Amino acid sequence: MGNRSIYLAGPEVFLPDARDVMREKRRLAREYGFEPTGPGSDEAEAPAGPVFASAIYARNDEAMRRSAFCLANVTPFRGISADAGTVYEIGFMIALGRRVWAYTNDPHDYGERVRASWYGGHVDIFEGGLVRGSDGLMIESHGKADNLMIDAGIERQGGRVLRNTRAAAAVSDPARDLSVFEKCLQEMALQIHE
């Protein structure tokens, strides 16, 4: 079997019902043969106050180092990209050589989100397909779920980024929907047995 420890990265810790959502994610991970580690595996939420930031970090850092896998929720969080802590953890796990997968409950790609949500459609398209926002900033248009470093880093290591594209209909509760999370677990478990 080997080491089946999996680091479940994502912004669920910020939800008012963090404890329940995270418990369900851990339950599903175990159902597919994985052993979930942090963040905050056994607590409802991180403690507040500057004095604890280094302790929270140390706990997550340690959990990542002892995990063989990572499954990250890159559903946009307060903006057009994934939660910054989750993105840090993806880069960290890729550098450690771990197998990382990710999922998002947003059916749109990053370029679509930037063009529509950030610029309200006010963009300029230049020869060669280069797209810039009304402020002149280039807009990445690689068709990826988020910044290409995230998607391409994961794919290069043999992982995948799955998107919730449920008939183009919006997912009713993108912060909590676990259908694509479960699909990742399924495919990861299959990949291990190949």
Give residues in contact with a copy of itself (CB under 8 A). 13-16, 18, 45-46, 48-50, 52-54, 56-58, 60-61, 64, 78-85, 87-96, 114, 118, 128-132, 136-144, 146-153, 155-156
Q: How far is the CB of 171 from a copy of itself (least distance, A)?
A: 16
Identity at 80, one-letter amino acid code: I
Identity at 21, one-letter amino acid code: V
CB nearer to a copy of itself: give 3 or 79. Answer: 79
Dist. CA 88–CA 150, nearest whole Å = 10
Identity at 95, one-letter amino acid code: A
Dist. CA 18–CA 89, nearest whole Å = 19
Q: Which of 35, 85, 75, 40 is nearest to 176 (CA)?
A: 75
Q: How far is the CB of 140 from a copy of itself (least distance, A)?
A: 8
Q: How far is the CB of 65 from a copy of itself (least distance, A)?
A: 9
CB nearer to a copy of itself: give 36 or 40. Answer: 40
CB neighbour list of residue 43: distance below 8 Å, 6 or more residues apart? 19
CB nearer to a copy of itself: give 32 or 161. Answer: 161
Q: How far is the CB of 78 from a copy of itself (least distance, A)?
A: 5
